[in-house]
Amino acid sequence: MAPERKFFVGGNWKMNGNKKEIDGIIAFLTAGPLDPNTELVCGVPSCYLDYCRQQLPATIGVAAQNCYKVAKGAFTGEISPAMIKDVGVGWVILGHSERRNVFGESDNLIGEKVNHALSEGLKVIPCIGEKLEERESGKTEEVVFSQLKAIVDKIPQDKWDDIVIAYEPVWAIGTGKTASPQQAQEVHGKLRQWLSDNVNAEVARKTRIIYGGSVTAENCRELAKEADIDGSLVGGASLKPDFIHIVNANQ
């Protein structure tokens, strides 16, 4: 990782946790110790956003796991960036593979969501990644570049400081299969080169690209050593005390 890019760890709780369990997570995160040189953000179920923002230390960011592309209206079941900001939360995860593949969100919709969230002042973790059959048929670059373009086309030039890109190969999420550090670095390097070619060299140099997909306390340090891996987006492991080791993987 380049020194100018601050190490970033996102804990995506997904649809997990109740108040008692969340109090336990808050307790181990508060106790730490956490590397002060790592930016930590927790992705929280929407009904607990307000509670977590009030209970977590101010040094730990909170993210919604999804939001819609407009400020308000007749969109039952959705939340807007304005609502997320109203409860003091500053981040949102968008385009996670579960949103794409379970709920059928298109590249275009995700791009529109990213654009609206940025315009409302949220920071965004947009997610991209290929399925197993796409990797095995040699389509990894085609898929992730297409997903990235749909997002990048909607990012205003002055909003790049509010973006952390997450590369999550779908075949490695929750499966116990992890891309090797070399496999992950290869894709991260190509993503950074794509940004240089299609946005500009400064954006490519400064934008953090984090890896997600069965990140654990055991493999996090090897991943963190790679030049273009600037942190991780962690699922189930973020619910357990060992998550502290992942946060501190760059020490």
User: Which domains are present in the chain?
Assistant: 8-14+60-70+77-248 (3.20.20.70)
Catalytic residue flag (residue 245): no
pLDDT bin (cut points 50, 70, 90) of residue 133 is: very high
Q: For 109-115, what is the mean pLDDT? A: 98
60 has a pLDDT exceeding 80: yes
Tell me the three-class secondary structure of 173-233, residue by residue: CCCCCCCCHHHHHHHHHHHHHHHHHHCCHHHHHHCEEEEECCCCCCCHHHHHCCCCCCEEE
Catalytic residue among 98, 116, 168, 188: 168
Ordered alpha helix ranges (H), 78-125: 81-86, 97-101, 107-119
Q: Which of the residues 96, 105, 116, 134 is marked catalytic?
A: 96
Average pLDDT in the chain? 96
Does residue 88 register a pLDDT over 90? yes
Strand partners, 212: 233
**Residue 186 annotated to the active site:** no
Task: Supply the pLDDT for residue 1.
Answer: 67
Decide: helix, strand or coil at residue 61: strand
pTM: 0.97
Task: Check residue 214 and give its pLDDT.
Answer: 87
Beta-ladder partners of 234 = 11
Q: How confident is the model at residue 141 (pLDDT cuts 50, 70, 90)?
A: very high
Contact indicator for 170, 97 with CB cutoff of 8 Å:
yes
Residue 173: what pLDDT?
82
pLDDT, tens only, 174-197: 777 778 999 999 999 999 999 999
Q: What is the pLDDT of residues 3-53, one digit of tens each?
A: 789 999 999 999 999 999 999 999 999 999 999 999 999 999 999 999 999
Percent of the chain with pLDDT over 90: 94
> What is the average pLDDT across 45-65?
98
Token couple for 73: 């209206």
Mean pLDDT computed over 155-176: 93
